[in-house]
A and B are shown apart, each in its own frame.
Chain A
Amino acid sequence: MAAPHTAKEIIYMDNSSTTRPAPEVVKAVTSAMEEGWGNPSSLHKLGSKSQAIVRAARQAVARAISADESEVYFTSGGTEANNLAIFGTLRTLPDRKRIITSTVEHPSVMAAYEYLKETGYDVRFIRVDSLGRVDPEEVLREVTPDTALVSIMLVQNEIGTLQPCREIGRGLMSMGGKRPRFHIDAVQGFARLSIDVREWGVDLLSVSAHKIHGPKGVGALYVRKGVSLTPLAFGGGQEKGVRSGTENVPGIAGFGAACALWETDREETMRRLTDLRAKLVDGILGAVPDAVLHGPRREGVAPYIVHFSFPGLRGETILHALEERGVYVSTGSACSSHKDKPSPVVLALGRKEEEALGAIRFSMSRYTTEDDVRITIAALLESLQSLKAWRR
């Protein structure tokens, strides 16, 4: 599968930061701006045309998680979806003061919980094992009648570890009655992994378009039928009052088109990526003996995220050396790439600080080819060779 309009010399291995919009997406966005520019709330033909665009996209998002279209609410992205899930729940259940989450969540969840902790919430951060996985039993043991929310991510954004969301959700379902709500930040797994919100017992699930070749600035929150949320933004009552504000029709159209990309060949693409990931990991471990792989080597990991540390070097130094060779990666996650600071996620695995520095994340997409992986490994070896003198 050829990468769409990609200059040959660039190998983009930073797809967990963002992805290149697919040609189908660009087309859908453009057409929504040129023809579907009406306000979906307007009663005339232009309005109903836009409404139809939004509805089709809503159905596409719903299909990807086995939900009903009425349960999908569009937002400005994953961060807003996460915040809406968390604060919308807590405002609806003001008497419940406990929240259960993990130590390796994305900053858009973590920062919210840090804030809530300061304001008096009893936030339980469940530790992960050396591969980055929470123990579902431990999560369930922490649940009390006072618990408002259990919130666990599906795919860890830096190291790719899959969390046992299904087990946690099933466990919560069996508690019946006054059980807490279950929220999944599925931004790094949506559309690529099979998700069944009903079977998993999910109440809230956050997704984003730009990680799957859609546009930036659009995401969605799944809200199970019967779960009520207090909105964060009040206004004209769009999205059934859960998220007011005129719909981002072009973005939503692009989101729908991005979902459609994966519908036909998701399993085949994942099989291919699983194979590519194994080649990448094995290639690096075979050629660089002191490289440290963070997260699982084979099972229990998203087949498109690979996170290595190269002790003695700085992540940004390696990043620029790879950039020189046309390979684009990131240090840790783009959101938390701060100078000199080891990633808190890698430290949460129990790694020593030296092992956490010099971290590089390679992340692939549906357009990544075997050649890309081969060139990436070669470029990495060349880079490490050229930086030998810079090691400390």
Chain B
Amino acid sequence: MKELLLVRYGELGLKGDNRADFERALLRHVEWTVRDMPGAFVSRSHGRLYVEGTFDRRLVLERLRKTPGIVAINPALRVDSEIDAVVEASIAASKEAVDKRGFKTFKVEARRGDKRFPLTSPEINRKVGEAVLAANQGLSVDVHSPDFVLTVEVRDTGTYVYWDEVRGPGGLPSGTSGRGLLLLSGGIDSPVAGYLALRRGVKIDALHFWSYPIVGERSKEKVIDLCKALRESGPDLRLYIAHFTDVQSEILEKCPERFRVIVMRRMMMRIACEWASSVSAQAVFTGENVGQVASQTLESLRAIEDVATLPVLRPLICFDKVETVAIARSIGTYDISCLPYEDCCTVFVPRHPVTKPKLEDVRAAESRLDVQSLVAACLKRIEEEDLTAV
């Protein structure tokens, strides 16, 4: 009897010719979830992945829960396809369900995929059901709304018994939907936007605008931590740091106060689009959201998009804050985002920012800036941060 994790994926099964590529990408990502566990191995068979061997089950489950493309994970027991062994595993699984969750009712759902097995599915149901009842006092059968379903799958690689299920994020495996560049601040929204893009299989790299020394080292460490959290969903995510203080100083000097923020965002967008192109990204992702703060009115979004040379995709555009926060909590970025350090935006917001900028006014407001050379100078100093360092 062996403990393992049975990993199920859904949507990518529908993708015809691409299926093999998608499965390979998912396999690679699942292998990444056991990267620090040399005793674990991952295998694939009949549209399932299996994580077996010796590994930290709780940690791997937590990682798989954030792995795009996975629909569900079942912690399962595998035995040889002999009825005595199947019964024994079923009893063990049922006892675990009763112990852990205090369940009172159950039913058995057998699926005989391997027709060499001598018992039919209804016969397995009956036999396993009787044994489980006999082994658990106080447990009874309820075929309509049981507390748990004990699934018994007879396959050519053995028989799998499980009762528990952890939901995965769904979506598409990492790296199967092209490449995008995420504008990552220290806030709550942008990491969630990045996660949603990753969940659709987009290979995401992140760009952070850093106002050192107006802000401290800690604001960068915070962004590094956010990226490490996002890496669970996008293992090859890279982080680029753009030194932004000089651009901001120029804006402070040469632009009217009310237009500071909108001009700053236009500068960020210009730099992001240039950088995205140079790393072969097809689109820029942001955490923007309609009307959440003054700079995110439709007028502001239009004024920002005015300078974009790539599609600007905003996964959170119509989310409510509570929805965003719920996702941030589930992917482990919320607590990091809530650390109180200043970032390039908080130090920059004027008392009365313009909320509904007219495009011609915005263009006029930045007329004294030497946009080209500021963008070029900033691009020159973009650095990749090492996310593997502890």
Binding site for B on A (CB under 8 A): 314, 316-317, 319-321, 323-324, 337-340, 387, 389-390, 392
Which residues of B sit under 8 angstroms from A321, Cβ to Cβ? 213-214
- Of all chain B residues, the one with the shortest Cβ separation from A339 is B340
Q: How far is the CB of B97 from the nearest CB of chain A, in Å?
A: 38
A6 to chain B, nearest CB (A): 21
CB distance from A312 to the nearest CB of B (A): 10
Asked if B215 is at the interface of the complex by the 8 Å CB criterion, the answer is yes
Q: Besides the contacts A321-B214, A389-B249, A392-B350, what 20 more A-B pairs have beta carbons closer than 8 Å?
A: A314-B342, A314-B347, A316-B215, A317-B214, A317-B215, A317-B342, A320-B212, A320-B213, A320-B214, A320-B215, A323-B213, A324-B213, A338-B340, A339-B340, A339-B342, A340-B346, A390-B347, A390-B348, A392-B257, A392-B351
Query: B13: CB under 8 A from chain A?
Result: no
Which residues of B does A touch, CB under 8 Å? 212-216, 249, 252-253, 257, 340-342, 346-348, 350-351
> In the bound complex, how far is the Cα of B213 from the Cα of A320, in angstroms?
6
What B residues does A316 contact at CB under 8 A? 215-216, 341-342, 347
- Whether the pair B340, A323 counts as a contact (CB closer than 8 A) is no
B341 / chain A contacts, CB cutoff of 8 Å: 316, 339
CB distance from A117 to the nearest CB of B (A): 25
Q: Which residue of A lies closest to B212 (CB)?
A: A320
Known: A389-B249, A390-B214, A390-B252. A317 touches B340 (CB 8 A): no
Interchain nearest-CB distance for B355 vs A (Å): 17
Nearest CB to that of B260 among chain A residues? A392
A-side contacts of B249, CB under 8 Å: 389
State in angstroms the CA–CA spacing of A218 and B350 once bound together: 44
What are the residues of chain A within 8 A of B216 when measuring CB–CB?
Answer: 316, 319-320, 323
Rounded to whole angstroms, the CA-CA distance of A54 and B341 in the bound complex is 40
Could you write out 6 A-B pairs with CB less than 8 Å apart?
A314-B347, A316-B216, A320-B214, A321-B213, A323-B213, A389-B249
The CA of A316 and the CA of B341, in the complex, are separated in Å by: 8
- Which of B253, B347, B350 is within 8 Å of A317, CB to CB? B347
Complex Cα distance, B216 from A389, in Å, reads: 18
Contact B252 A339 (CB under 8 A): no
In chain A, what residue has the closest Cβ to B348? A390
Q: How far is the CA of A265 from the CA of B249 in the complex (A)?
A: 49
**B257 CB, nearest partner CB in chain A, Å:** 8
Write out the residue numbers on chain A whose beta carbons fall within 8 Å of the beta carbon of B213.
Answer: 320-321, 323-324
Closest to A387 in B: B214
Closest CB of chain B to A187's CB: distance in Å? 23
A144-B217 Cα distance, complex, nearest whole Å: 52
For A387, list chain B residues within 8 Å (CB).
214
Q: B342 — which chain A residues lie within 8 A by C-beta? A: 314, 316-317, 339
State A389–B351 Cα separation when bound (angstroms). Answer: 14
Contacts of A390 in B (CB 8 A): 214, 252, 347-348
Q: Is the CB of B252 within 8 A of A389?
A: yes
Distance in Å: Cβ of B61 to nearest Cβ of chain A: 35
- For the complex of A and B, 7 pairs with smallest distance between CB atoms: A389-B252, A339-B340, A316-B342, A324-B213, A338-B340, A320-B216, A320-B213
B239 to chain A, nearest CB (A): 21
- Give chain A residues whose Cβ lies under 8 Å from the Cβ of B346: 314, 339-340
**B255: shortest Cβ distance to chain A, in Å?**
11
State the Cβ distance, A325 to closest chain B Cβ, in Å: 10
List, in ascending order, chain A residues with CB within 8 A of B350's CB: 392
Residues of chain A contacted by B215 (CB below 8 angstroms): 316-317, 320
Inter-chain contacts of B257 with A (CB < 8 A): 392
Give the residue name and chain of the B residue nearest to A389 (CB): B252
Q: How far is the CB of B295 from chain A (nearest CB, A)?
A: 15
A390 to B257, CA, bound (A): 11
- Shortest CB-to-CB span from B213 to chain A, Å, is 5
> Which residues on B sit within 8 Å (CB–CB) of A392?
257, 350-351
Which among A320, A321, A389, A392 has the highest number of chain B CB atoms within 10 Å?
A320
- Residues in B with CB closer than 8 Å to A340 are 346
Q: How far is the CB of B166 from chain A (nearest CB, A)?
A: 35
In the complex the two chains form, what is the Cα distance from A25 to B347 in whole Å? 40
A314, A321, A392 — most chain B CB neighbours (10 Å):
A392
Which B residues touch A320, using CB under 8 A? 212-216
Alpha-carbon gap, A337 to B339, bound state (A): 11
**A340–B347 alpha-carbon span in the complex (Å):** 10
Residues in A whose Cβ lies below 8 Å from that of B348: 390
Q: B351 — which chain A residues lie within 8 A by C-beta? A: 392
Chain A residues within 8 Å of B253, by CB: 389
CA distance in complex: A339, B340 (Å): 5
For residue B214, which residues in chain A have a CB less than 8 angstroms away from its CB?
317, 320-321, 387, 390
Q: How far is the CA of A392 from the CA of B350 in the complex (A)?
A: 6
For the complex, give the distance between the alpha carbons of A59 and B180 in Å: 66
CB distance from B333 to the nearest CB of A (A): 17
Smallest beta-carbon distance A18→chain B, Å: 17
In the complex the two chains form, what is the Cα distance from A387 to B347 in whole Å? Answer: 11
> Could you tell me the distance between the alpha carbons of A314 and B347 in the complex, rounded to whole angstroms?
7
Question: How far does the alpha carbon of A390 sit from the alpha carbon of B347 in the complex, in Å?
Answer: 8
Cα separation A319 to B212 with both chains bound (whole Å)? 12
- Residues from chain A with a CB closer than 8 A to the CB of B212 are 320
Q: How many whole Å from A202's CB to the nearest CB in chain B?
A: 36
B260 smallest CB distance to A (angstroms): 10
Q: Could you tell me the distance between the alpha carbons of A227 and B132 in the complex, rounded to whole angstroms? A: 62
Please, how many angstroms separate the alpha-carbon atoms of A335 and B355 in the complex?
35
A335 to chain B, nearest CB (A): 12
Within the assembled complex, what's the spacing in Å between the Cα atoms of A147 and B342? 43
CA distance A321 to B212 in the complex (A): 9
Q: Which residues of B contact A389 (CB under 8 A)?
A: 249, 252-253
Q: How far is the CA of A323 from the CA of B216 in the complex (A)?
A: 9
How far is the CB of B338 from the nearest CB of chain A, in Å?
A: 10
Q: Give A258 to B252 CA distance when docked, in angstroms.
A: 48
Q: A340: shortest Cβ distance to chain B, in Å?
A: 7
Identity of the chain B residue whose Cβ is nearest the Cβ of A354 in the assembled complex: B351
Q: Which of A314, A324, A390 gathers the greatest number of chain B CB atoms within 10 Å?
A: A390
A337 neighbours in B (Cβ, 8 Å): 340
Chain B residues closer than 8 Å to A323, beta-carbon distance = 213, 216
With a CB–CB cut-off of 8 A, which chain B residues contact A319?
A: 216
Tell me the bound Cα distance from A138 to B390 in angstroms: 54
Distance in angstroms between the alpha carbons of A339 and B249 in the assembled complex? 22
Q: Chain B residues with Cβ under 8 A from A314's Cβ?
A: 342, 346-347
